[in-house]
Structure 1
């Protein structure tokens, strides 16, 4: 990724021996260089190149195997002459303003394996000729606003391994299209549409499915227990729908599952302990539902051994990745804070593909603390997100087993009891247990979490002495212990804890600081003595303020009285002259107004 600027339309005409040209992720403008068809691979993705694609760009002797024009500002129709590129393997036109029909001539390029046409304005008719592309593995038609019912032709693409149709405003047609009969498919993305009704149980017939993405729709009813038959499934994203009832225990049969995303539904009941059988499950998000009951001790077993899944992915062929993969990556790493937040600021498509591949193959892209070792290591690390539910009871000490998790988010529940000291054994980067009913002392073991960046213990019932060893958490950038009114002690005057504002400590009347003013206007002050009765003396500061105001008030009143006496008795010359002049001015003004109305004459 660079920031090169300027035009490219004639720049490379003299490079007759050039075969591979990658200009992606810059700021080039103007029209496209029309000589690209003599290359083997050409990419100008993620720039600002615009205009039409001339038909003459695709010469009869086109040598292209890879053409990537994605994320620019091209418009108009795609020339049918593109079929001259008989060696083309990957065609990526994603993220432009192409319109009109999808060229049926694409069906004659028998070598085509990846066709990425998403985020354009193509008409909704899918050419029948594409069905004969026997090597076609990836078809991305996302964000073309097709609308209506899902086209029935999609159920006939038996050769596909990945079908991405997100963001098309579909409302129906999942069953009638026969899409569930695509038994070779490993990835199906129908997110960001308007599908409604029950989730199709027939999806369980897609035995090769690894990624099922149905988020951001309007599905209702329960999660089909048949989804537990998708034994190769690695990601199940049903978040942001209207699903009800409990999580099926059969999901615990999915030993290869890495992601389970069920957030923002209306799921009820207890978290099934069978989820603990998901030995590869590293990213679990059940936030913002109506789940109740306890934290099952078996849940601490998730993600205990994802090695088999990672090794399987390392042996698999790498699938062609497009911009839609970046959208999925962002959603599955759904964190607004470290360690995943930095991805959003640097995420070009190439970086996104690299991050995605590393995750799937079990290679970490950030360092985490390892128990018993002062050296940090690059490891894949997951998250547990249970916030915004109605979970109760104590967090079990088994939570100390979750050695592959760096983010623990339990906020906005009704957990109670003491926080287990075993939590200090985890390689945590984020710990948020705010808005619960935890009590007892804050475990000193939290001070051993050397990689911790975000610690939120606010709005609980913790008591005892404030653990000053938290001051050793030198990388802490967010800290909140507010509204734990039974915590007592002194906030250190130096060190990491001294760098936070008073908002981090509000609502703790027994907590003191020499640097911060901790009086919270929402919490009444505690009086050291008896309550002051009406008429009794107030504080010294209040007395002096009132005395000062009384002095100024009396002085102004006395001055006004003396001025009146002086004017009435003595009648100074300057006062008389000003008053007489004012009366004369009032006497003249009516005559001027009358004179103007009578023809403009003034007297």
Structure 2
């Protein structure tokens, strides 16, 4: 018989074992319940609520996530396991998402793919992402994420692709990458604010193939193990010191090596020839010296060789001629000087040859460079070439850039025979004569840049046949004649040219030189391009160049009457600084892609056609011409107009208050059109401009704050100098106005005397003119006493 004590002891032991077992079952049951499709759907609905709270007006595809509407695995952007039991992927790329990152992705325990790129997600990366243990693909690129990288807990040991490019993440990455290297194949950290050293951070990444660290602030030495990668790009950092020959010893798998835009020095090692799979070698923008390694000529796969903006010797190795697949050769800005090297005329395989900024003085003919059979783009700008332009050039050319040299004489008519030409830049030379009418045959021409020469004669009517010509700049020449109506046909149908460019599958379509060309071909004051110009660096020039060349829409263009417009190609017409005359044709309304019209500093006259209000302009400059008549009310319909300059003309009539509807306008000038009268609104866009926008218009009535400005005697400390400057400005304005007023008085007096004389002579047909006498006197009184200068003028006189 077992004693009760023994039973009690047994029960106690059994109970002590049972409690942990029950707890285990409870925990296990909870875990199973939490790791199901239902639990995944609840996490996604929580994610949806997070997104909706930060994006209340523009919901993305996640707006369709509803439990009763369809199965979770059918929700837009969601992928599941093959049997549909768990969520494995989220793809909300380009879904207008803003706000911080969701901080509970780790609850999706089978998540392997997460792409939230091309949104405006901000904040920093939460620690929760480090607990997504099964995550293999993480793409947060093209957002505005900041803070420091904090994926360092070791939880992302299965990560294969990491793309954080184009964000604002900062700090050192040395504490992060050893913990991510277990399975990593792709690491893209480009275009951020990362700093620190990179010389040893990838040593343990055994499977790593693609590393992109461009456009950060990394410094120090380069990582010596890059040869085992397929692609290694560190362009636009602060890396320095020499590139050692030992870095290329042994097996080299590189296909792309981009070291451009750093501070590397010394001679570049010829051992790079061990990388026999290399397609692109980009050394542009460093401080390399010595000879160009002849061993490069043995890399038969090489298609792009970028050696520009260094200090290499001018001797070009003959072995480079063996590069039968070479498409792009850039040796710009090495200050070679002297005659163009003869060897360039033997690169018959090259399509893009970039030699700008080398101080060459001759050798164009002797080198035979202009007759290379496959040449598509030739850039010889910013040199010292002189003499006449060469008439015979390769008919295969698509872009011919000879700007900023000392060429003189006529433009050869033969250039009109290059039927595939898309860009011709002859600006800033010493060219004379007329623009060849043969240019009218260039139906593929997109850019014609002839500014800053001494060209004369008319702009040929035949230019109107250039159906692709969106960008014409002939500013600052001596051109004369009329604005022929036929010219308004230019740029009417560029689509065929863009289609040709889109179909091309060149392995290398861009390289160095894009920034220089874009900044020269896009006027700095052209509003649609200002954003692009501000951010133009090597990082963006290539992509921007390709977008424009292929006609992709990158800038907003507003049709008349529209506040928000679609993205479209923006053209311009730059005719300023010439001697052009006559009227602007009404057919200008046909130029539907024209966003910039600069006719300033010419001799245009007559009325401005009302049809100009049908253009999607953002820039209109007519300053210093002889335009007359009333300013068209229709200009007020161009709601996206940002820059309007009508100053120094002979406009008259009532001031169009419709201009007050131009809410996007940031620059406005109507000064010195003395026959304009009316009232400047005291509210709205026009009221935001200062007195300098209205000078020399005595018949205009200004708001009270214009009259009172500068007359405020503020006695506060520190404002004495400002008051002094305001008084000086008032003095200068008063003197200008006084001179104008007395000249106007003299005109009225002479006119009055003339009328009285005719009346005294009893001229019957003159008597009706007596009615004008009263009008003269009224205008004179209004001019002298109803504007902000009247009191100042009285005081000065």
Contact 1:114/1:320 (<8 A) preserved: no
Match of 1:589?
none
CA distance in 2, matches of 1:24, 1:303: 37
CA distance in 1, matches of 2:484, 2:395: 30
Does residue 1:240 correspond to 2:417, yes or no?
A: no
Match of 1:47?
237
Match of 2:454?
266
Query: CA RMSD for the aligned pairs?
Result: 2.0
Match of 2:152?
none
Match of 2:288?
98
Secondary structure (helix, strand or coil) at the match of 1:32 reads coil
Match of 2:479?
291
Post-superposition Cα deviations, 1:112-163, rounded to whole Å, max 9, x if no partner, equal 0000000000000000001010000000000000000000000000000000
Distance of aligned partners of 1:107 and 1:502 in 2 relative to their CA distance in 1, 3 Å threshold: same
Distance of aligned partners of 1:445 and 1:52 in 2 relative to their CA distance in 1, 3 Å threshold: same
Distance of aligned partners of 1:482 and 1:374 in 2 relative to their CA distance in 1, 3 Å threshold: closer
Secondary structure (helix, strand or coil) at the match of 1:266 reads coil
Q: Map 1:306-345 to 2 at 5 A.
A: 306-318=494-506, 319-345=508-534
Pick aligned residue for 1:166 from 325, 350, 356 = 356
Q: Map 1:9-88 to 2 at 5 A.
A: 9-88=199-278
Does residue 1:154 correspond to 2:344, yes or no?
A: yes
Match of 2:588?
399
Contact 2:499/2:550 (<8 A) preserved: yes
**Range with bigger deviation, 50-59 or 370-379:** 370-379
CA distance in 1, matches of 2:671, 2:332: 45
Match of 1:252?
440
Pick aligned residue for 2:737 from 511, 523, 528 = 523
CA distance in 1, matches of 2:198, 2:522: 36
Match of 1:601?
none
Does residue 1:221 correspond to 2:409, yes or no?
A: yes
Secondary structure (helix, strand or coil) at the match of 1:458 reads coil
Secondary structure (helix, strand or coil) at the match of 2:285 reads coil
Secondary structure (helix, strand or coil) at the match of 2:565 reads strand
CA distance in 1, matches of 2:247, 2:465: 56
**How many Å apart are 1:355 and its aligned residue?**
1.3
Secondary structure (helix, strand or coil) at the match of 2:232 reads strand
CA distance in 2, matches of 1:511, 1:129: 74
CA distance in 2, matches of 1:496, 1:343: 26
**How many Å apart are 1:322 and its aligned residue?**
2.0
Secondary structure (helix, strand or coil) at the match of 2:528 reads coil
Secondary structure (helix, strand or coil) at the match of 1:395 reads coil
Post-superposition Cα deviations, 1:521-567, rounded to whole Å, max 9, x if no partner, equal 322174866999xxxxxx9999999xxxxxxxxxxxxxxxxxxxxxx
Secondary structure (helix, strand or coil) at the match of 1:309 reads helix
**How many Å apart are 1:334 and its aligned residue?**
2.8
**How many Å apart are 1:337 and its aligned residue?**
3.4
**Range with bigger deviation, 356-365 or 342-351:** 342-351
CA distance in 2, matches of 1:409, 1:395: 12
Match of 2:574?
385
Match of 2:279?
89
Secondary structure (helix, strand or coil) at the match of 2:492 reads coil
CA distance in 2, matches of 1:370, 1:543: 48
CA distance in 1, matches of 2:619, 2:793: 45
Contact 2:643/2:667 (<8 A) preserved: yes
**How many Å apart are 1:349 and its aligned residue?**
2.6
**How many Å apart are 1:372 and its aligned residue?**
6.5
Contact 1:322/1:349 (<8 A) preserved: no
Match of 2:10?
none
Secondary structure (helix, strand or coil) at the match of 1:523 reads helix
Distance of aligned partners of 1:180 and 1:379 in 2 relative to their CA distance in 1, 3 Å threshold: same
Contact 1:25/1:348 (<8 A) preserved: no
Match of 2:112?
none
Contact 1:240/1:265 (<8 A) preserved: yes
Secondary structure (helix, strand or coil) at the match of 2:672 reads coil
CA distance in 2, matches of 1:543, 1:233: 64
Q: Map 1:503-542 to 2 at 5 A.
A: 503-513=692-702, 514-517=704-707, 520-521=733-734, 522-524=736-738, 526=741
Contact 2:510/2:546 (<8 A) preserved: no
CA distance in 2, matches of 1:218, 1:344: 27
Distance of aligned partners of 1:484 and 1:530 in 2 relative to their CA distance in 1, 3 Å threshold: closer
CA distance in 2, matches of 1:152, 1:530: 75
Does residue 1:276 correspond to 2:461, yes or no?
A: no
Post-superposition Cα deviations, 1:314-367, rounded to whole Å, max 9, x if no partner, equal 101243422312221222223333111222221233322221111111111111
CA distance in 1, matches of 2:580, 2:782: 42
CA distance in 2, matches of 1:39, 1:424: 57
Q: Greater relative contact order: 1 or 2 (C-alpha under 8 angstroms, separation 6 or more)?
A: 1
Contact 1:76/1:98 (<8 A) preserved: yes
**Range with bigger deviation, 30-39 or 224-233:** 30-39
CA distance in 1, matches of 2:438, 2:253: 51
Contact 2:330/2:512 (<8 A) preserved: no
Secondary structure (helix, strand or coil) at the match of 1:376 reads coil
Consecutive unaligned residues of structure 1, counting only runs of 5 or more, are: 533-538, 546-603
Match of 2:382?
192
Moved over 4 A (4+): 371-375, 525-532, 539-545
CA distance in 2, matches of 1:419, 1:530: 27
CA distance in 2, matches of 1:441, 1:530: 20
Match of 2:305?
115
Does residue 1:346 correspond to 2:560, yes or no?
A: no
Counting matched residue pairs gives: 537
Secondary structure (helix, strand or coil) at the match of 1:516 reads helix
